[in-house]
Chains A and B, each alone.
Chain A
Amino acid sequence: MEFIENYLYYIASFGLILIGLYIILIKKNLIKMIIGLSIMDTGVNILLISMGYLSGGTAPIFSRENLLPSRMVDPVPQALVLTAIVIGLAIIALALSLTIVLYRHYGTLNTRKIRDLKW
């Protein structure tokens, strides 16, 4: 039980990453694959946040008295995640708009049927 409590965030984040990867690899519907991409991104973001998270910690602002460095949350991963969320948003938006054009060409979202380009 203690193991789960200590590693809860890691289990959750790698769980989400693997679920996302599974969806991308297995699902045939393009929209579902993009959802998988989004889930994977969320998992990565949770992993990054949990790297510097401290239960009950607070923001590292030195104006407050009696605030020890050991009670501060590392701000760098949060800055990284902020950037990563924006990048993820851009990718999802581009993917969805490409999907719309693809649907107009093929009339289907099934990736097994969209197969003009082969090896």
Chain B
Amino acid sequence: MVNPVLLIVIPLGGAFAIPLFAFISKHLSKYISMIVALAMLIIVGVLIPAVSKNPIVVKIGGFRPPFGINLVVSPFSLFFAGIVSLVGFLVSIYAIKYIQKGDIDKYHLLFLLFLAGSVGVVLTGDIFNMFVFFEILCISSYALVAYNRDKDGVEAGIKYLIQGSVGSAFILIGIGLIYGLCGSLNMADIANQIHSVNSPLLFLALFLFITGFGIEGAIFPLNAWLPDAHSSAPSTISAVLSGFAIEVGIYAVVRFVWTVFGASNLLHFLAGLGILTLLIGELSAFKQNDIKRLLAYSSIGQIGLILFAISIGTAESISGGLFQVLSHALSKALLFLAAGYMIWKVSSRKIEEMKGIGVRMPITSFCFLIGAFSLVGLPPFIGFPSKFIIIKSALLTHQAYFYFLVGAVLLGTVIEISYFFKLLQGIFSKTEETGIDEAPLTALVPMVILTLLIVGIGVYPQAINQFLHLASHNLIDKMGYIEQVLGAL
């Protein structure tokens, strides 16, 4: 048996080993981050069969769960950890040639801290520990957004930093209030006691947590930083920010609303908020003429859809939401990676400048096409089964409220189709010969792997359906969660 702590220890250790290896050669760092991400992916793969049978609770330092820190490796958490390590690994291959300017050792150091923070947030079972990992994730992403030190990057970085740290302060106030009310920091212990606490402060704490994590999760009124940060960052960072960082924010919101607070009467509100996020994101994406900004707004739309699906609250809708998390992570990472070299070759982010690039860079553009089709939800790509499950489960609730929201989802999809087709039409139109050639092999390999995954899972969704089912039941089963953690004395 592999100890799940390794999932956090390996990237942290790798991050702090990079400055040492940089004494020998700065170019070693890019291979270190690739090897570390691969090791994480292998550990997740080894853990999947064991965790599917029974969630693993790791007691750090041997302290019994209400005291000390514990990790809870449940199918729901492991699913997110798997996405983090898969996208992280593919992006680190892409970064070998793509990141050339600046201090590349510092880039890879921050990238590994970013992975460690994301995995830590999803695996931990302690609210303060979650805050600390969340801060590791946030601080490294602020620095990575501003990595190029150009005008846009620094401005977006500081905007992101100020909004993000206000959110962090909110989370910390929430932790203080919860500790004052329950006298515990362990999620299972709080979940066990929270129904005997009767205080208006409880609502304030929940509000603060949703606001704080919602800023990272880009829920509608809190997402002003996202289009700037995602479009100004280097493309590898846009891919990981869109691929899993905002999903980790959503994970934290869902964990607090479902497991810690058990606030199921809030779900209708969150579903409405999700749809609002979806429509705002898609409508704003429609009028963009900057390719990365368009993709960033489309991420907001997808996050809204994920939040909506999870907030419907049935087991099937949650597995649909998780399916959508996977589909969005793969498709959006692919789109940002493909867009990265298109922008590099054209040296502009404007869509008009991309005309005819489909002929010059056939493989990259084909991958971009697959990613866009999958995001829109065309069969046989992964976006189709995920959207299908979400809509089906929403209709099965037989509530007029959800029927109405499904209409909004379909409207959002229509808008999505129109702007993606406009973009693709520009890319594949004919122009004269220019000196543009195909992206290098290190970029093509991760893009082709992502394309194959998108098509493979799209054709055969049963491959992961069973695990998603386990994960969604694991999220709903709150008493089981408490028992696993506190009963494992």
Contacts and interface: CB of A to CB of B under 8 A. Distances in A.
A87 to B, nearest CB: 5
Nearest to A118: B228
Interface stretch (B19-27, B175-183, B416-424): B175-183
Interface string A78-103: 00100110010011001100110110
B97 interface: no
Interface of A is mostly: helix
A80 B162 contact: no
Contact of A119 (B155, B185, B227): B227
Interface residues of B, number: 35
A91 B146 CA distance: 14
A47 interface: yes
A87 B135 contact: yes
Nearest to B142: A94
- Which among B143, B176, B284 has the highest number of chain A CB atoms within 10 Å? B176
Contacts of B161: 91, 94-95, 98
Interface of B is mostly: helix
A117 B162 CA distance: 16
A95 to B, nearest CB: 5
Contacts of A51: 176, 179-180
B173 interface: yes
A76 B169 CA distance: 18
Given A47-B176, A116-B155, A95 B162 contact: yes
Chain A, interface residues (CB within 8 Å), range: 20 to 34
B146 A37 contact: no
B157 interface: yes
Interface in B163-194: 165-166, 168-169, 172-173, 175-176, 179-180, 185
A16 B128 CA distance: 22
B120 to A, nearest CB: 14
Contact of A102 (B139, B142, B154): B154
A40 B167 CA distance: 11
A37 to B, nearest CB: 6
A108 to B, nearest CB: 12
Contact of B172 (A48, A94, A102): A48
> Closest 4 A-B residue pairs measured CB to CB?
A117-B228, A48-B176, A105-B151, A51-B180
Interface of A: 17, 20-21, 24, 30, 33-34, 37, 40-41, 44, 47-48, 51, 76-77, 80, 83-84, 87, 90-91, 94-95, 98-99, 101-102, 105-106, 114, 116-117, 119
23 contacts: A21-B166, A24-B166, A37-B162, A37-B169, A44-B172, A47-B173, A47-B176, A48-B172, A48-B175, A48-B176, A76-B179, A80-B175, A91-B165, A98-B142, A98-B154, A98-B161, A101-B146, A101-B149, A101-B154, A116-B151, A116-B155, A117-B232, A119-B224
